[in-house]
Structure formats: structure tokens, C-alpha cells
Structure 1
């Protein structure tokens, strides 16, 4: 199959490469289990960066069309499409879907040293520098939730990113990272030190939600902790037998 893309096309390069991979997947050669071309080989052949290749293949992996085997290569998934997509989004996207106006009262970005908990989750050395994003979110200018997020250093997020846009949209569009799974822990506690930020009393309750976020390869992406005003939020879970 002729493997090429059009660098003059208005269609983004990663979208062209995604379409190219979809054609490869449908060919008899790869359907029988032959490994797909390696990232470095394709990047050189197409004149693009490896990150552009990864941005295209991450979506296919997310859809269950291909499988990455560390140290071996990338193969067409032999048992059809299988995804583990949860119906959760970034907080911004969730509010947009509910048509609720949301704004940032505070937004701070800095590099911090990973403590033992972060180092264990990210599988990195303790004290490794990671990017931390802190945001105080408001509805109609009234503070409702305070978030702290830390991101794995391999992503390459910088302090100059536009964090006013939906977070997971930023990760996908700029870095080719799709988040598909999160492990969450929810508890109730008194507001304490968070009271001043949220505009409530220290003995008022808040919902605390810790979220451990992963990509399709089950690699850690983000650690997030949110402090929600209990008088403003209900956390609902739909369970089917």
C-alpha cells in the first residue's frame, strides 16, 4: 500500500495519518497479525514527528483497533473493537453539556516535587518535578469547587499552556493523549482550610474526590483532587445489575 500524506492539505497531519492507519488495518496483510510499521520508521517516511504518529495511533488504540506490546510492536487487534470508555469528562466539559456557565476565579500553575504518593502513582522517583495546576472554579462568580491536578512529566505540559480550555481536550488535541479510565475515591469532610477559598464556614461539609487518570495503555496521566461545596453538588452513580 502506498504510504504517504499531503503536507499542503488543510487536514491536520495526525488526522491524515489516522486515516492512513485505518486503511492499513483493513488490508489483508495486517488483519492477519503482521506488526504495523514502527513509529520512528513512519515518522521518517512521512516527514513528521513521532508525537504526530502517536497522536493518530492513540485514538485507534482507544477504539480498540490496535494493541501496543512493549518491546515488540503495534498490532491490529484480533478480536474486534473493545473499549473501556467511561462516560465521564473534564469538569469544564461536564458543565458545558449541562449549559452551566463556568469561570476560573483563580488559576495557578507551577512545578512541584513529587511526594511519595505522587511518585508511587506516576512510577517516578520521589522529588521529580511535576506540573501542578490549581484552579478555583465558580458558577455565576460564586466559588463551588477547588481543584489541584498534577500531571506525569512525560506528557510535556508547560506552565504557559492555555488551561482555560477543557483539560482533556487540551491533552488530546495538543499532545495526542486520550484519557479512558479513572479510579476515584470520594469522602466527606469538614471544609477546614478550604473554607476561605470556597466562601463557606470551616465546619461546613465538603465532598473530596481523588481521581487517578489513565490512558489506553493504562499509563498514569493525572492525579486530581477536588474539594466540592456539599451544598452545591450531588455525586450520582448509575449502577446496573
Structure 2
């Protein structure tokens, strides 16, 4: 069995260290081939952490769909994880490619701006610290259907010179070793104002779907605040829940 250990002197919380170890175990061929993970008692003893801390990490990965818990039997890697990482949310370009929808970029703007109050709180930065703002108007070849505005945490080190025609999370992962791991979303219906109406080629006052996404890295540090304004007839949001 692979050697597992947790650094009790580290400033990284124990449940996050446990979660990272579990993610490594998920990648291990023996567990990918259907072998059950060691039981909670064994695992917590080996890692020298409480079962509550271990369960917190396990619950997160069960929630993400990476692990499956079978009552009275044990926990194993989800078959979905083995065949495809469909439970892991994707960047817009990856999402559309997966659905076979050809995407066109109509506009791309990059600027450095002073953060508004919400960003100052979310990123925990000083109000005078400028952040990179990326605006993109995207859609099908016949016309745009979504306007995205993204703000990035200054600590990532983006310069603004990147080729933003590449998938966003690929740039962060490959060039900056930052993996977007957790996303919290708020979705609401709105009326388009003049600015968004002009971008999406609809009348001001038309219904749009507004999606705000708070994105965190592998250590649960905030990395991006993304806002998407969708033409209401072009976006369906699917949520799968299982009891």
C-alpha cells in the first residue's frame, strides 16, 4: 500500500492535507481498478488524525462525485471518475467542446482595474491593489450568447499578455500551477441593461440569466470571480442530485 502521512506541524489544515492525500489515492491504479479504500478506523490511525477530520475530507470527495460510499461495505473510487471527469466542472470552452457546440470569440478586452468592495473582501486584498479584468463576448458562429467578466487574484501572477484564446483553466494550470478546484455559484434571472443588451444583441429589459462563480484553488484560496450574462434562450442549467 502507498505510504501516507500528514504533516502535523504544517500551517495547512489537517482536513485539507487529508483531502489532498485522498485525491492522490484516487489516482493510484489499485484503487482505480475498484479496490476499496482502507476503512476509516485504519486510515485515521495511519494518518494520526481524528475520524471526524478524515470524514470531512471524505465527504467533500463524495460530494464532488469522485468517491462512492457503499453502506456497510466501504468507500471506493467512482466509476465515473475512471471513465471521465464529467463531475469536475469545466471552463466554458471545454464545456462547449464536450457538447459539440462550435464557439466563436466576438470580443476580448483586458484591463487592470481597482477592485470594487466585493472583490476586496473575496480576494482579501487592499482596495488600491489593481486586479486583472478579462471581458469576453462569446457565442456560436451566428451570434453571441454570453458575456463574461472575470477578475483574477493578483497573487496568481497573470501579466495580461497571455493568449486568452486558450482555455482559461488550462492557462492557470499549465503556466501558473494554479488548479481551479472548487466553484461556488449563484444563479439568478435579471433584465438586461443597455450595456449587456447591446453586447448580446437583445433589447434592454429582455430577460437574461446571470451566473456568478466564486472559484478557489486546490488550497481553497480564492483565485477568480467570474460573472456570466447569458441570453435566456441559450442556457440550460442542469443539476443532478441523488439521495
TM-score by length of 2: 0.68
| Corresponding position: 1:204 with 2:163 | no
* Residue pairs, 1:104-119, within 5 angstroms: 104-119=105-120
Q: 1:117 to 1:33 in 2, by over 3 A?
A: closer
Q: Residue 121 of structure 2 aligns to a residue in which SS? A: helix
Structure 2 unaligned runs (5+)?
10-18, 26-45, 48-53, 65-86
Question: How far, CA to CA, are the matches of 1:236 and 1:209 in structure 2?
Answer: 13
Contact 1:62/1:180 (CA < 8 Å) preserved in 2? no
Deviation (angstroms), 1:141 = 3.6
Which residue in 2 is equivalent to 1:236? 238
Deviation (angstroms), 1:202 = 1.0
Deviations 1:68-90 (A, max 9, x none): xxxxxxxxx93699547552111
Q: 1:64 aligns with which of 23, 39, 51?
A: 23
Q: 1:217 aligns with which of 188, 195, 219?
A: 219
Total equivalences in the alignment: 183
Q: 1:26 to 1:140 in 2, by over 3 A?
A: same
Question: How far, CA to CA, are the matches of 1:205 and 1:32 in structure 2?
Answer: 52
Question: How far, CA to CA, are the matches of 1:219 and 1:118 in structure 2?
Answer: 13
Structure 1 unaligned runs (5+)?
1-24, 37-59, 67-76
Deviation (angstroms), 1:61 = 3.6
Which residue in 2 is equivalent to 1:187? 188
Question: How far, CA to CA, are the matches of 1:95 and 1:114 in structure 2?
Answer: 30
Which residue in 2 is equivalent to 1:155? 156
Question: How far, CA to CA, are the matches of 2:21 and 2:138 in structure 1?
Answer: 29
Q: 1:176 to 1:32 in 2, by over 3 A?
A: closer
* Residue pairs, 1:66-145, within 5 angstroms: 78=47, 83=61, 85=64, 87-145=88-146
Question: How far, CA to CA, are the matches of 1:182 and 1:192 in structure 2?
Answer: 27
Question: How far, CA to CA, are the matches of 1:26 and 1:170 in structure 2?
Answer: 31
Q: 1:62 to 1:129 in 2, by over 3 A?
A: farther
Deviations 1:88-146 (A, max 9, x none): 11111100111111111000011111111101000111131110100000112411000
Contact 1:115/1:127 (CA < 8 Å) preserved in 2? no
